[in-house]
Structure 1
Amino acid sequence: MMKALRAALLGMALAIGLPSGSQAQTLRVGMAAQDVGRLDPHFATSTIDRVAVGWMFNGLVRFPPGSIDPAAIEPDLAERWESGADGRTWTFFLRRGVQFHGGFGELTADDVVFSLRKSAAAATSAFSADFRAFESVEAVDPYTVRIVLRENVPSLLGILTNYSGGYIVSKRAVEQKGEGFARAPVGTGPFALQGVTPNQSAELVAHAGYFRGKPQIAGISYRFIPSDASRDLAFQNKELDLNYGRADQTWATRVRALPGVTVDVFEPAELAMLHLNITQAPFNDIRVRQAMAHAVNRAELSRWRGPDVSRPGQSLVPRGYLGFTAENGLPGHDVAKAKALLAEAGYPNGLTIKVIHTQLPEMLNMMQVVQQQLRRAGITLDLQVVEHATFHQQIRQDLSPLVYYSAARFPVADIYLSQFFHGRSIVKTPTAVTNFSHCNQADAQIDAARVSTDPAAQLKLWAEAQRTLVKEVCAVPLVETLLVFARRDTLDYGYKLVGSMGLGPQITEQSRLR
Structure 2
Amino acid sequence: MTYKSYLATAAILAGAIGATVPMSTVAYAAKTELKVGVAAEGVTTLDPHFATNTSDRTLSSWIFGALVRFAPGSANPSTIAPDLAESWEATPDKMVWTFKLRPDVKWTVGYGVVTSEDVVFSLDKARDPKRSAFANDYSAIQKVEAVDARTVRITLSKHVPSLLGLLSNYSGGFIISKKAFEERGDEFKRRPVGFGPFQVESISPGQSVTLTANGDYFRGKPKLSKITYRFLNNNSARDLAFESGEIDVEQGQQDQRWLQRLTANPNVQVDTVEPAELNMIHINITKPPFNDFRVRQALAHAVNAAQIVKYRGERVNRVALSAIPSNNLGFNPDPGVLEYNPAKSRALLAEAGFPDGLTVTMINSQLSGLENLGQLLQAQFADAGITLNIQPVEHATYHEMIRKDLSPIVLYGAARFPIADTYLTQFYHSNSAIGKATAVTNFSHCDVADKQIDDARVETDPNKQIELWKEAQKLIVTKVCAIPTTDNLGVWARTNKLDWGFELKGSMPSAPLVTEQTYFKD
Into which bin does the TM-score normalised by the smaller protein fall?
A: over 0.9
Cα distance in 2 for residues equivalent to 1:226 and 1:71 = 34
Q: Deviations over 1:442-472 (max 9, x none)?
A: 0000000011100111011111111111111
Tell me if structure 2 keeps the 8 A contact 1:23–1:216: no
1:133-282 maps to which residues of 2 (within 5 A)?
133-282=140-289
What is the letter of the counterpart of residue 86 of structure 1? D
State the secondary structure of the residue aligned to 1:499: coil
- Give structure 1 regions of 4+ aligned residues with deviation exceeding 4 angstroms: 21-24
Matched with 1:497 is 504
Q: Is the counterpart of residue 485 in structure 1 residue 492 in structure 2? A: yes
Cα distance in 1 for residues equivalent to 2:387 and 2:87 = 55
Q: Deviations over 1:60-84 (max 9, x none)?
A: 0000000111111100000000000
What is the letter of the counterpart of residue 164 of structure 2? L
Scaled by the length of structure 1, the TM-score of the pair is 0.95
Q: Deviations over 1:287-316 (max 9, x none)?
A: 000000111001111111111111000000
What is the root-mean-square deviation of aligned Cα atoms in Å? Answer: 0.9
State the secondary structure of the residue aligned to 2:470: helix
Cα distance in 1 for residues equivalent to 2:461 and 2:326 = 21
Cα distance in 2 for residues equivalent to 1:82 and 1:270 = 33
5+ residue gaps, structure 1, are: 1-20
Matched with 2:432 is 425
Q: Deviations over 1:191-224 (max 9, x none)?
A: 0001100111000000000000000000100001
- How far the C-alpha of 1:340 sits from its partner, in A, is 0.4
Aligned residue among 318, 322, 330 for 1:323: 330
1:339-488 maps to which residues of 2 (within 5 A)?
339-488=346-495
Cα distance in 2 for residues equivalent to 1:351 and 1:413 = 34
Alpha-carbon distance change, 278 to 139 in structure 1, aligned in 2, over 3 angstroms: same
Matched with 1:68 is 75
Q: Is the counterpart of residue 112 in structure 1 residue 119 in structure 2? A: yes
State the secondary structure of the residue aligned to 1:139: strand
Cα distance in 1 for residues equivalent to 2:322 and 2:377 = 17
Cα distance in 1 for residues equivalent to 2:141 and 2:31 = 43
Matched with 1:94 is 101
Tell me if structure 2 keeps the 8 A contact 1:23–1:513: yes
Cα distance in 2 for residues equivalent to 1:93 and 1:22 = 42
Q: Deviations over 1:410-429 (max 9, x none)?
A: 11000000000000000110
Cα distance in 1 for residues equivalent to 2:518 and 2:471 = 44
- How far the C-alpha of 1:24 sits from its partner, in A, is 6.0
Alpha-carbon distance change, 137 to 24 in structure 1, aligned in 2, over 3 angstroms: farther
State the secondary structure of the residue aligned to 1:254: helix
Q: Deviations over 1:235-255 (max 9, x none)?
A: 000011111110111101101
Tell me if structure 2 keeps the 8 A contact 1:294–1:337: yes
Q: Is the counterpart of residue 44 in structure 1 residue 51 in structure 2? A: yes
Scaled by the length of structure 2, the TM-score of the pair is 0.94
Cα distance in 2 for residues equivalent to 1:100 and 1:252 = 40
State the secondary structure of the residue aligned to 2:179: helix
- How far the C-alpha of 1:259 sits from its partner, in A, is 3.2
Tell me if structure 2 keeps the 8 A contact 1:24–1:216: no
Matched with 2:21 is none
Cα distance in 2 for residues equivalent to 1:24 and 1:372 = 46
Matched with 1:30 is 37
Q: Deviations over 1:237-283 (max 9, x none)?
A: 00111111101111011011223110001211100000000000111
Cα distance in 2 for residues equivalent to 1:484 and 1:327 = 27
Cα distance in 2 for residues equivalent to 1:387 and 1:103 = 36
Cα distance in 2 for residues equivalent to 1:28 and 1:164 = 25
Q: Is the counterpart of residue 507 in structure 1 residue 480 in structure 2? A: no
Tell me if structure 2 keeps the 8 A contact 1:328–1:467: yes
State the secondary structure of the residue aligned to 1:337: helix
What is the letter of the counterpart of residue 429 of structure 2? H
- How far the C-alpha of 1:327 sits from its partner, in A, is 2.3
What is the letter of the counterpart of residue 90 of structure 1? W
What is the letter of the counterpart of residue 321 of structure 1? N
Q: Deviations over 1:293-345 (max 9, x none)?
A: 11100111111111111100000011121100122111111111111000000
Count, aligned residues? 494
Tell me if structure 1 keeps the 8 A contact 2:101–2:116: yes
Aligned residue among 258, 279, 297 for 1:290: 297
Cα distance in 2 for residues equivalent to 1:59 and 1:314 = 32
Matched with 1:338 is 345
Tell me if structure 2 keeps the 8 A contact 1:99–1:188: yes
Cα distance in 2 for residues equivalent to 1:225 and 1:319 = 30
Tell me if structure 2 keeps the 8 A contact 1:24–1:218: no
What is the letter of the counterpart of residue 108 of structure 2? H
Cα distance in 1 for residues equivalent to 2:146 and 2:506 = 33
- How far the C-alpha of 1:42 sits from its partner, in A, is 0.5
Matched with 1:10 is none
State the secondary structure of the residue aligned to 1:462: helix
Cα distance in 1 for residues equivalent to 2:130 and 2:30 = 42
Alpha-carbon distance change, 78 to 103 in structure 1, aligned in 2, over 3 angstroms: same
Q: Deviations over 1:331-372 (max 9, x none)?
A: 111111111000000001111111111011111011100110
What is the letter of the counterpart of residue 79 of structure 1? E
State the secondary structure of the residue aligned to 1:101: coil
Tell me if structure 1 keeps the 8 A contact 2:254–2:491: yes
Q: Deviations over 1:387-410 (max 9, x none)?
A: 100100110000000000000001
